[in-house]
Amino acid sequence: MRKPAVLVTGASGEVGYGLIDLFDSVDDMDVIALDIKPLDDQLHEKCAVSIAGDILDENLLQRLVSEYEIHAIYHLAALLSTRAEYTPDTAHRVNVEGTLNLLKLAHEQARWHGHAVPFLFPSSIAVYGLPDTETKKRAGRVREIDWNFPTTMYGCNKSYCEMLGRYYTLHYRQLAADSVRGGVDFRSLRFPGLISVVTMPTGGTSDYAVEMIHAAAQGRPYDCFVSEDAKIPFMVMPDAIKSLRLLAAAPAEALTQRVYNVTSFSLTAAELRDRVLSHFPKAVIRFRPDPPRARIVDTWPEDVDDSPARKDWKWEPDYSASRAFNDYLIPGISRLYS
């Protein structure tokens, strides 16, 4: 008999870390953690099995399902926006072909055990592309259907995978004689810039927020690569995990869409600096914009409208900007570097 399990890809990344912690504390389902890098010991202990491997390796995925029956997939593995710009072809392979492999796997698993496989997929504010800062200001809080003109490979990849997820859920093999709906239950969140005290993101463009806070806590000067007035929405990791948990638990009838915006608070880089300085008054934070990277941030909305998530599955962030700093970032980061 194969054992039932939840598959988490990108398990060592910033979201994977928090998610596996949550599964460890509340869920009795075995977790299979997959990441391109070996998991650290602390995380490894919380999983039934952890595998260092590539989501593009279809043989690896097949070996996995010979032993485990997959009942849910949290597909977190991706190359983030800055890194993807340096290696767009690789990004496309990992972000799109990797996702396709996992959607196929979800469908195949559902055919085996007869239940739809929830497929939780973090998308991003990078799917939006505002043409200039004037328009960005005017647009304010953007809805899911607005300004879907990504300017990065990562944003294009996420946008297309949202469509693939919807397709696999609603229309996959629609012309086949034995076509059955309901194999994949794709649910996606468009995350804002995520901030964690536990892990540093690698290769994102919203990373300046995390870098600024961690540098201040370590007493290192920080040169911020966007300008003072660059503004995007943010969320701390506990809220990101909460939103994933709520969306995963929502009854299917409650969902009016497959892809939802979520956000907690929006700050300019200067406001972020001021908050960091109020906790670390000696921090040295300079603005030295790197125009190409700063431009990417300028194409992302300054706020998103997350009212469908609030209405459909009662989403509400726990952390305002003040609470994020006072109750999560500062205590967590002080512990990390003390």
Active-site annotation, residues:
154
CB contact at 8 A, 304 and 192: yes
Q: How far apart are CA 250 and CA 118, in angstroms?
A: 11
Q: Is 126 in the site for ligand SER (CB under 6 A)?
A: yes
Number of residues that bind ligand SER (CB under 6 A): 12
Rg of the Cα trace of the chain?
Answer: 20
Q: How far apart are CA 119 and CA 238, in angstroms?
A: 20
Residue ranges in 145-164 that form contacts with ligand SER under rule CB under 6 A: 154
Q: Give the one residue of 101, 206, 243, 299 binding ligand SER; rule: CB under 6 A.
A: 206
Q: Which is nearer to ligand SER, 119 or 154 (CB)?
A: 154
Mask: binding to ligand SER, 27-66, rule CB under 6 A, as x and -?
A: ----------------------------------------
Q: Which is nearer to ligand SER, 20 or 194 (CB)?
A: 194
Q: Is 193 in the site for ligand SER (CB under 6 A)?
A: yes
> Residue 22 CB, nearest distance to ligand SER (Å)?
20
The alpha helices in the chain, defined as continuous H runs, are 14-26, 41-44, 58-67, 81-86, 88-92, 98-113, 133-139, 153-170, 207-218, 237-249, 269-279, 291-299, 307-313, 321-323, 330-337
Q: Which is nearer to ligand SER, 50 or 196 (CB)?
A: 196
Residues with Cβ within 8 Å of residue 45, at least 6 apart in sequence? none
Stretch that binds ligand SER, among 166-174, 186-194, 236-244, 314-322 (CB under 6 A): 186-194
Stretch that binds ligand SER, among 3-11, 162-170, 174-182, 188-196 (CB under 6 A): 188-196
Q: Give the one residue of 169, 205, 263, 266 binding ligand SER; rule: CB under 6 A.
A: 205
Stretch that binds ligand SER, among 110-118, 169-177, 201-209, 280-288 (CB under 6 A): 201-209
Do the strands 117-124 and 141-142 form a parallel or antiparallel pair, or are they unpaired? Answer: unpaired
Which helix (H) or strand (E) segment is 265 a member of?
strand 265-268
Q: Which residue's structure tokens are 């040169």?
A: 223
Helix (H, G, I), strand (E, B) or coil at 297: helix
Q: Which residues of 158-195 are buried (b: 16+ CB within 10 A; e: fewer)?
A: bbbbbebbbebbeebeeeeeeeeeebbbbbbbbbbbbb
Q: Give the one residue of 10, 204, 301, 308 binding ligand SER; rule: CB under 6 A.
A: 204
As a whole number of angstroms, the longest Cα–Cα distance in the chain is 69
Q: How far apart are CA 237 and CA 254, in angstroms?
A: 25
Stretch that binds ligand SER, among 16-24, 202-210, 249-257, 309-317 (CB under 6 A): 202-210
Stretch that binds ligand SER, among 50-58, 198-206, 305-313, 317-325 (CB under 6 A): 198-206
Q: Is 94 in the site for ligand SER (CB under 6 A)?
A: no
> Residue 222 CB, nearest distance to ligand SER (Å)?
17
> Residue 123 CB, nearest distance to ligand SER (Å)?
8
Q: How far apart are CA 223 and CA 105, in angstroms?
A: 43
> Residue 213 CB, nearest distance to ligand SER (Å)?
15
Helix (H, G, I), strand (E, B) or coil at 316: coil
- Residues at the site binding ligand SER, with contacts judged by CB under 6 A: 80-81, 124-126, 154, 191, 193-194, 204-206
